[in-house]
Amino acid sequence: MVILVTGASGQLGQALQFIAGKYSGIQFHFCSSSDLDITKKQAIEDVFKATNPNFCVNAAAYTAVDKAESEPEKAHLINVDGAKNLAETCKFFNTTLIHVSTDFVFDGYKNLPYTEIDHTNPRGIYGKTKREGEQKIAENLIEHFIIRTSWLYSQFGNNFMKTMLRLAQDRDSLSVVNDQIGTPTNAIDLAEVIIKVIFSNSKNYGIYHFSNEGSASWYDFAKKIFEINQVNIDLKPILTSEFPTLAQRPKYSVLNKSKIKTEFKITIDTWEDSLVRT
């Protein structure tokens, strides 16, 4: 079994590298953006020719949600054209593509967990390009799994948990948004699920939702991070309107995980339990 991982230096890419040692039956090829730029079709074909992967896990993406508003072309190039390049190359080489997408494809006007068949309506450039990337994959390749996830954190890369702990080193108080509801997801849990999908032999291709269980606001998430790490700080809940950002975010983006739990026979930890393990 050969697995090619793109975007290997990112948060999810590093989480996959962290767990890879447990799977001695798999030959992993981890490619960072400097090893393989997914916007370059010929470069992808060269790497596929050299490695002949059974599965390609696309952990590469343009993920700067606010910056995307002023760099729409770059976000499109990576999240749409890059995804299409991978899908076309996977088709040619008979490779199954596992692609990662986001809760930001939803507008957040629902107040029940989003299912895979719910209407998408991204609010910003990042979400729009991620949604278009999903569509390009579905149009070009049957053998694909798209896993939408939310609020990724881990000891790797840049993420909310690390930002909170860094800010707390220099400040006595912090204000965090309390009216956006979603679910934090441990990147290691997502990496393990990706491996389960690979080992499952499932041919039920398409979109799946995965996050940890439960729901929280960013304020709840920050509160738990500080509690677990025994950080004493004055944490204040604020409204989104008090913390304007360039990109609009969904107010509610909890994902319904019934489909992935049934298809791959998995149980999922609550976000609080998983955070304790980080």
Interface residues with ligand NAP (CB under 6 A)? 6-7, 9-13, 33, 36-39, 59-63, 78, 82, 100, 102, 130, 149-152, 157
Query: Measured from the CB atom, is 68 or 170 closer to ligand NAP?
Result: 68
Query: Measured from the CB atom, is 157 or 172 closer to ligand NAP?
Result: 157
Report the residue number whose CB is nearest to ligand NAP: 10
Q: Which of 191, 180, 37, 184 is nearest to 109 (CA)?
A: 180
Q: Among the residues of the chain, which ranges form H helices?
A: 11-20, 41-51, 72-76, 82-93, 125-140, 160-170, 187-200, 218-228, 258-263, 271-277
Smallest distance, Å, CB 20 to ligand NAP?
15
151 to 96, 171, 235: CA distances (angstroms):
25, 24, 20
- Distance in angstroms between the alpha carbons of the first and the last residue of the chain: 29
CB 37 within 8 A of CB 63: no
List beta partners, residue 216.
182
Query: Measured from the CB atom, is 28 or 230 closer to ligand NAP?
Result: 28
Smallest distance, Å, CB 98 to ligand NAP?
11
CA dihedral 43, 100, 60, 64 (to 10 degrees): 140
Active-site positions read 126
Taking the C-alpha atoms of residue 23 and residue 51, their distance in angstroms, rounded to an integer, is: 18
Q: Which of 23, 10, 80, 91 is nearest to 56 (CA)?
A: 91
CB 153 within 8 A of CB 162: yes
Smallest distance, Å, CB 67 to ligand NAP?
11
Query: Measured from the CB atom, is 12 or 235 closer to ligand NAP?
Result: 12
Query: Measured from the CB atom, is 48 or 230 closer to ligand NAP?
Result: 48
Smallest distance, Å, CB 10 to ligand NAP?
2
CA dihedral 177, 59, 18, 199 (to 10 degrees): 120
Smallest distance, Å, CB 157 to ligand NAP?
4
